[in-house]
Structure 1
Amino acid sequence: MNSTVATPAKPAAATRPGSPVVINEDANHELAIRVEDLNLWYGEKQALKNINIDVFQKNVTALIGPSGCGKSTFLRCLNRMNDLIRSVRIEGLVEMDGRDVNARNMDEVALRRRVGMVFQKPNPFPKSIYDNIAYAPTMHDLVSRRADKDDLVESALRDAGLWEEVKDILDQPGTSLSGGQQQRLCIARAIAVKPDVILMDEPTSALDPISTATIEDLMDKLKTQFSIVTVTHNMQQAARVADYTAFFHMGELVEYNDTKTMFSNPNTKKAEDYITGRYG
């Protein structure tokens, strides 16, 4: 008598704390960022507690969890944006290419070129569309000749899916664009300096559904070139765009898993309760 046995999900190849519970066979697993025993305090209040996670190259990793659980705080740890807050104290390791990004001799400007950020609310510079893209590469000496700047601006805007909409108005202010266009302009600005990682802090929360869908499609295309870590409160969005999902709760990383597994068969009761809407 023949019987069909379901094939179990493949567990993580490694057992270190930062590994996902289940491996996504279709995802790349070269390491982009390794985080070990990361703790963060705002004054006396601890906001992150013993975070361990491996972020893989050329994937979308979504951070989910209720408001105030530490998602955005963690995201800002990856390019030291929390350094701008005086009361912050950090312990633990955030490592890229074998180097601790919090080391005293780490060049923060160089780090933020490699780990770019797109914020919740579009924030174009008070400059032309062209200069929004060309400014940072020029400051970092990535380009100097006008022809090279022109090529870079076009390339970044094409990668952000915005070129055809703005190619004839490059001298107009970036703030003259619609909200969705402004956010794509900010993405183009981030990728113009050729980063390794792009951080996105709820990049579509202020956008209409059509603009949101455009940004989600863009993320899927961009992950072939960049590693993307995104914070989202939209469960459907995480399920659509992410290869891996990390669930935060009260400053702790409760579960890190293949996204399909996370939303169909989470490994923890807390993650299941959040995903099914029992709290949030």
Structure 2
Amino acid sequence: MNQQTAQIDAHSAPNHERSPGQPVNHNEDANHALSIRVRDLNLWYGNNQALKNINIDIYQKNVTALIGPSGCGKSTFLRCLNRMNDLIRSVRVQGLVEMDGRDVNDAKMDEVALRRRVGMVFQKPNPFPKSIYENIAYAPRMHDLVSRKAEQDELVEQALRDAGLWNEVKDKLQEPGTSLSGGQQQRLCIARAIAVKPDVILMDEPTSALDPISTATIEDLMDKLKKQFTIITVTHNMQQAARVADYTAFFHLGEMIEYNDTRMMFSNPHTKKAEDYITGRYG
């Protein structure tokens, strides 16, 4: 058996023979520096357990897609990564979510600092009721990332350029962010997220409310942004996951059933449940 065959066999080994959190198959083109390590993560809404023993290693500067039927725990898991679930009084969390060797659920963790490092883009665009300029400049100013007006101007322009929006709004920066089209508003929200220089961007169905042209623009943007940021996205669009993601995790009834290189997930899924979902037999 040559070395390449041995590696493929090792990557395709059953779950109990692999280290917890590792994908079934590794994407040879992906960056495998660790960004977020999750071990034995459980979450309850009151008495209802929504996440069950989730284990996953998420790699830096890749796009990881979370797929699965509605209500299976994808968005709940996403919100565990920046403690957005803390805003729900009935939530109880057990397990490890680790960045840079620190558990994000540690009582000493600064939640504001965490959410600066782990930004979020929501399903429906939600610009602040401020100008386009202030939508970008406000948070960096609050975090003391910029002070002088010239620094703010430079940061605003760079964030809008990175979000592919600068040429469309450069002559109307003082107009309300809400005056933009839906697709432009979503890119404004992405620019707002990246302006504070996060390590990770969470995207919860970022294109579900957009038209096909705006969706394609956001997908192209995700491919460019992963050169700078780790991106984790929830999507119900199988074709979108196949197009944009390096890795895909399939959730079902609060469990992560399969975590795999996206190409393998869609061409040769490791589990029957993932195969049935991807081929449309249920979901």
**TMscore range, shorter length:** over 0.9
Alignment partner of 1:239 out of 225, 238, 242: 242
| 2:37 aligned with 1:38 | no
Matches within 5 A, 1:1-280: 10=8, 11-12=10-11, 15-280=18-283
How much has 1:8 moved relative to structure 2?
Answer: 8.4
Q: What amino acid does structure 1 have at the position aligned with 2:94?
A: E
Q: For 2:267 and 2:133, how far apart are their aligned partners in 1?
A: 44
Query: Which whole-Å deviations, capped at 9, do the CAs of 1:35-66 have from their partners, x for residues lacking one?
Result: 00000000000000000000000000000000
Counterpart secondary structure, 2:11: coil
Whether the 8 Å CA contact 1:57–1:227 is kept in 2: the answer is yes
Counterpart secondary structure, 2:35: strand
How much has 1:15 moved relative to structure 2?
Answer: 2.4
Whether the 8 Å CA contact 1:9–1:22 is kept in 2: the answer is no
Q: For 1:8 and 1:265, how far apart are their aligned partners in 2?
A: 18
Q: What amino acid does structure 2 have at the position aligned with 1:15?
A: R
- Please list every run of 5 or more consecutive structure 1 residues that lacks an aligned counterpart in the other structure: 1-5
TM-score normalised over the length of structure 1: 0.96
TM-score normalised over the length of structure 2: 0.95
Q: For 2:115 and 2:185, how far apart are their aligned partners in 1?
A: 21
Counterpart secondary structure, 1:38: strand
Question: After TM superposition, which residue ranges in structure 1, 4 or more long, deviate above 6 angstroms?
Answer: 6-9
How much has 1:124 moved relative to structure 2?
Answer: 0.1
Which deviates the most, 223-232 or 6-15? 6-15
Which deviates the most, 10-19 or 176-185? 10-19
Counterpart secondary structure, 2:197: coil
Whether the 8 Å CA contact 1:27–1:59 is kept in 2: the answer is yes
Q: What amino acid does structure 1 have at the position aligned with 2:224?
A: K
How much has 1:9 moved relative to structure 2?
Answer: 7.6
Q: What amino acid does structure 2 have at the position aligned with 1:129?
A: I
Whether the 8 Å CA contact 1:242–1:259 is kept in 2: the answer is yes
Q: For 1:235 and 1:255, how far apart are their aligned partners in 2?
A: 15
Counterpart secondary structure, 1:93: strand
Whether the 8 Å CA contact 1:28–1:56 is kept in 2: the answer is yes
Counterpart secondary structure, 2:65: strand
Q: For 2:198 and 2:6, how far apart are their aligned partners in 1?
A: 37
Q: For 2:5 and 2:74, how far apart are their aligned partners in 1?
A: 33
Q: For 2:269 and 2:227, how far apart are their aligned partners in 1?
A: 27
How much has 1:17 moved relative to structure 2?
Answer: 1.3
Whether the 8 Å CA contact 1:36–1:53 is kept in 2: the answer is yes
How much has 1:12 moved relative to structure 2?
Answer: 3.5
